[in-house]
Structure 1
Amino acid sequence: MAAESPTVLVSVTLWPGATLRDAVRRLRLADDEVDAAYGLVCVDPARQVYVLLVTESAGERIRGTPGGGGPYANPRIETFGPPQPDDDEG
């Protein structure tokens, strides 16, 4: 996946110990649609729900797929406003 490609998060229900490759197969994704550096993250171990980062177009295809969920927004996390002086520096 190109570094600057817009991405979204998708979820997938798998089994304990599942791998990114398992998620890719389950959701019928191509390798270049998945951010391998992000990997597969278990977000709900009790329900065996995992998330992965995919291209926007792949996320739209996953919508409504049995066992899949999303797409969910993946906003960039940045500071808000100008840096503030540290209170301890006074």
Structure 2
Amino acid sequence: MTQGPTVLVTVTLPAGATLTDALRRYGLTSDEVDEAYGLVPVDPAQGLYALLVSEEAAARITGGPGVSGPYANPPIEPYGPPRSGPGSDDGGR
């Protein structure tokens, strides 16, 4: 599991690829990749997958064949004030 800042990269791999395949193909170690995030299919028909990697790993592999990025990985948070009333998580209170 990577420590410190991470970024997203997209990689090209054969359909049905695994995280182990990605590590091997791009010379990454498990310490450089967020294994909990895993290898996420973006467009598996085209062999396009996303990886969350350390900034150092991204700098090393970006620009190589089949790698795009790095892309920011901002936290996803709710937008706007909390909702209240029917349909909200507060039970309509």
Segments of structure 1 that go 5 or more residues without pairing to the other structure are: none
Give the root-mean-square deviation of aligned CA atoms.
1.9
Aligned position for 1:31: 30
Deviation, 1:38, is: 0.7
Aligned position for 1:41: 40
Provide the TM-score with structure 1 as the length reference: 0.84
Provide the TM-score with structure 2 as the length reference: 0.81
Quote the Cα distance in structure 2 between the aligned partners of 1:72 and 1:59.
10
* TM-aligned CA distance change 1:86 to 1:62, over 3 Å: farther
Quote the Cα distance in structure 2 between the aligned partners of 1:36 and 1:61.
18
Segments of structure 2 that go 5 or more residues without pairing to the other structure are: none
Map Cα deviations across residues 10-58 of structure 1 (whole Å, 9 max, x no partner).
Answer: 1111111111011111111121000111111110122110111111111
* TM-aligned CA distance change 1:78 to 1:9, over 3 Å: same
Aligned position for 2:63: 64
Aligned residue pairs, count: 89
Deviation, 1:82, is: 3.8
Runs of 4+, deviation exceeding 4 Å:
none
* TM-aligned CA distance change 1:17 to 1:61, over 3 Å: same
The answer to whether the 8 Å contact 2:34/2:53 transfers is yes
